Amino acid sequence: MIKAIIFDLDGTLADTITDIQDGLNGMLTEYGFSTVTTEQTLANINNGALELVRRSLPEEKRSDDSFVKKAKQVYEKYYSECYNCKTNEYDGCTYALNELVAQGISVNVLSNKQDYFVKEITKKLFNDVRFDFVIGQSELFPTKPDPSSTLHILSSLGIKPSQTVFVGDSNVDMITARNARVNAVGVAWGYRSKEILIENGAEFIVNTPREIAKIPNFLK
């Protein structure tokens, strides 16, 4: 019986890519570097802001850890000005999340995006949803696919991995589920293909946000 579902944010509950791209391009322009396309931004996401920035920089700068850290601070300055400008929920997610809560399922958000932005985006887009945990990247836990943050949520809730589903749009999410020994479900509308999700352990794919509400029935 499923008692908890943990959701990724970017590409799963919310379409955030344009604001991320705008933040990156603000940083790159300040340094005089070439800007990134949407396709490049999509290719570079999923492993946290530091790696996002590193992969977006010119190749000769990527191995300079000191420069990458400074560039990340500049990116965060620009992203803080636009992170909630063009970001929107995928239509039907609020409905599905509230349906799960009504079923007695614990709903949670776990992202590799910086913790402050995760909390603010979730608050703006899903203010009517009762989440138990909303966690982004911070010094408290390593980034996904390390299972530490997932296991922290389950331990705090008193719920077993076998009673839990991780829902995401990327290979990182599916590997996180595998590392935490929870059920893995992929979404078809996100930033990675169905094939990548299945290759990395997705037990099945939901095709529309409203189908999220049916996940507990699919895994009975």
**CATH number reported for the structural domain that contains residue 99 in this entry:** 3.40.50.1000
Mean of all residue pLDDT scores within the chain: 97
* Overall size of the chain counted in residues: 220
Interval 18-46: pLDDT, tens = 999 999 999 999 999 999 999 999 999 98
**What percent of the chain clears pLDDT 70, i.e. is strictly above it?**
100
Same structural domain for residues 37 and 134? no
What value does the mean pLDDT take over residues 136-148? Answer: 96
What pLDDT does residue 194 have?
96
Please give the backbone phi and psi of residue 49, each rounded to the nearest 5 degrees, phi first.
-65, -40
Count of domains for the chain: 2
Is the pLDDT reported for residue 218 higher than 90? no
DSSP 3-state helix, strand, coil percentages of the chain (rounded to 5)? 50, 15, 30
Last residue of a domain, one of 31, 59, 82: 82
Name the residue range of residue 201's domain. 4-15+87-218
Same structural domain for residues 21 and 110? no
Is the pLDDT reported for residue 219 higher than 90? no
What value does the mean pLDDT take over residues 187-207? Answer: 97
Residues 6+ apart with CB under 8 A from 44: 36, 51, 52, 55, 56
Is the pLDDT reported for residue 119 higher than 90? yes
